[in-house]
Chains A and B, each alone.
Chain A
Amino acid sequence: MKVFCVAEYRFDELNPLSIELLNLANQIKGDGSSEAVVIGKDVGKYAEELAKYADKVWKVEDDSLENYTPDLYVDVLLQLIEREKPDIILVGNTAQGGEFAPYLAAKLNAPIATDVVAVDVSDGVKASRYLMQGKLMVDLKLKSTPCVLTIRQGVFKEGTEVGGEIVDAGIKPSRESKRKFVSYIEPEVGEVDIAQADIIVSVGRGIEDESNIELAEELADLLGGVVAGSRPVIDNGWLPKDRQVGISGKVVKPKLYLALGISGAFQHVMGMKDSELIIAVNKDPEAPIFGVAHYGVVADLFDVVPELIEKLKEIKGA
């Protein structure tokens, strides 16, 4: 198999997921090759990092590629893919990769599977992925090659160095991008930095209403911690954006992460899975959060939290 891996970088840093793509490529290439593609204005530095893990690194450089646009990424990738004919194209399942990969697939008339966590090439190309927010898994067969797979971060961390060559692909965009990059916007900074907290009481959809945030705040105060939340709580405006735990919010590693009414979607779990102690309370015994927690309680948080508050008050009063 010839496996292409499209690299990603931002703010001067290669996304570690790019190396994970190469680890996967090296696992499945057989007597083929792992080939990274890095696109931009001046990508030599990234190419060198990638070359450690790739048989070959294709550099695609042009001034117009300084900032990512799906239009031009797809344009140059189509040219290179038509010339080099890879069997599989791996892309990170990120804000960037998740955007241009389906576009690329449609232009190639190629099957695509997104957010993939396992790949099997023993009989055609098969990919495994979650659905139903992590509650089910499916094995898919992609009916033809080339095919496109976007890969979940953190799955293919193990790999060995290969040490390959860096080649200028000699490809330029064939047109201007219709979509223009304007600017990056920095995250808002709030009063509390949850990434610095030792104890986090985190609430999800199960908190049900804005007025119930108080309950979490009371518990957090007694524990000497701060309140954070998962996406639905932030979307509803019940907590500010800088309190969001997850890929699109903050990554936290407190001593205690108490997850109340949080189902445990992957996007959230990636923001808290390295916490030292994770305790989850959820009504749903099948909630994926119990797959990452050290201790779990299947219960209504409104039954457990008031009891916990009472007992903590007794201890503090004593």
Chain B
Amino acid sequence: MKIIVLAKHAPDPESEISVASDGKSVSQSGLVYDINDWDRYAVEEAIRIKEDKGGEVVVVGVGTNCDDTLRKCLAMGADRAIKIPVDTSFDAYTTAEVIKEAIKDEQFDMIFAGLMSQDLNNAQVGVLLAAMLDLPVATAATELKVEDGKVIARRELEGGYLEEVELPTPCVITIQSGINEPRYVSIMGIKRAKSKEMKEVSVSPSISTLEIEKMYLPPVKKAEMIEGDPSQVAEKLIEILKERGLI
């Protein structure tokens, strides 16, 4: 079983976010990067399947700065990494296209991607890639059962419902967070990762479908803010609850 996993080196939305001076991009100052949270689950799922059934896990990263995330995946237990040193910015088409080119000589049974990236929240790359490769797809998987030549996936719907579907391999599956408990990187893992292959594949993107006109802070209706030290805040909250007859 050979599994390709797409892993994005992405800024954490909990870090300090502001718009850059061009008014069209996110300011890099204050951003903290790490492996995209959904991709962490995808890498873990692939490694678990490999540990159970044998095979290989190949992790693919896009971007000139994605080394740390690829090394982290190798330290978790991926076998080798492919780095595509292209900054594709916002356009998921471009990202999917360069990945398609970079993996064209790889034979694989499955491609895993996180359901979405934590910074752009597009939820597109995995599905676009499936369409470009003409492969069946399932998104938001919360449980996978891999059998000979097929995968049974449970995918998340609304309201706590799940849908069970069956796909032949090769196929593309996007992974929902919570599908497993991703392992921590061990010292041994980091040591072993040093001898693992990280291959750079240069691809020039040709497609561009979107143009960013403007990036800005969303207009928000603000809550009435309660200020003071914790004791004063608690006092005021109690007053509000009393007024409403909640205590």
Contact = CB atoms under 8 A, between A and B. Distances in A.
Given A256-B241, A296-B224, A185 B212 contact: no
B165 A181 contact: yes
Contact of A231 (B14, B137, B177, B241): B177
A143 B210 contact: yes
Given A235-B177, A241-B160, A223 B247 contact: yes
B234 A256 contact: no
A110 B165 CA distance: 27
A141 interface: yes
Contacts of A187: 159-161
Interface in B221-247: 221-226, 230-231, 233-235, 237-238, 240-241, 244, 246-247
Interface residues of B, number: 77
A291 B123 contact: no
Interface string A101-128: 0111111001111110000000000100
Interface in A246-272: 247-251, 255-256, 263
Contact of A140 (B121, B178, B210, B231): B210
A297 B234 CA distance: 10
Nearest to B155: A95
A135 B240 CA distance: 28
Interface in B153-179: 154-168, 171, 177-178
Interface in A296-315: 296-299, 303-304, 306-308, 310-312, 315
B74 interface: no
Nearest to A225: B246
A308 B237 contact: yes
A279 interface: yes
A114 B124 contact: yes
Contacts of A70: 136-137
B146 to A, nearest CB: 15
B217 interface: yes
A249 B237 CA distance: 28
* Chain A contact patch, size range: 35 or more
Contacts of B138: 99, 179
Nearest to B135: A178
A142 B230 contact: no
B131 A102 contact: yes
A157 interface: no
A274 B160 CA distance: 19
Given A182-B152, A235-B178, A143 B209 contact: yes
Contacts of A237: 181
Contacts of B209: 110-112, 142-144
A140 B213 contact: yes
A182 B150 CA distance: 13
A32 to B, nearest CB: 22
B214 interface: yes
A289 B222 CA distance: 9
B224 A295 contact: yes
A158 interface: no
Contacts of B244: 255-256, 277
Interface of B: 11, 13-14, 17, 19, 26, 90, 92-93, 96, 118-124, 127-128, 130-132, 136-140, 152, 154-168, 171, 177-178, 181, 208-218, 220-226, 230-231, 233-235, 237-238, 240-241, 244, 246-247
29 contacts: A70-B136, A95-B155, A102-B131, A103-B137, A104-B131, A111-B209, A111-B210, A133-B118, A135-B13, A136-B26, A136-B218, A137-B216, A140-B210, A140-B211, A178-B171, A179-B137, A180-B167, A184-B161, A185-B154, A185-B162, A205-B14, A232-B177, A241-B160, A248-B158, A290-B223, A291-B220, A295-B226, A308-B237, A310-B234
Smallest CB-CB A-B distances: 7 pairs: A187-B160, A235-B178, A106-B131, A296-B223, A111-B209, A291-B220, A307-B234
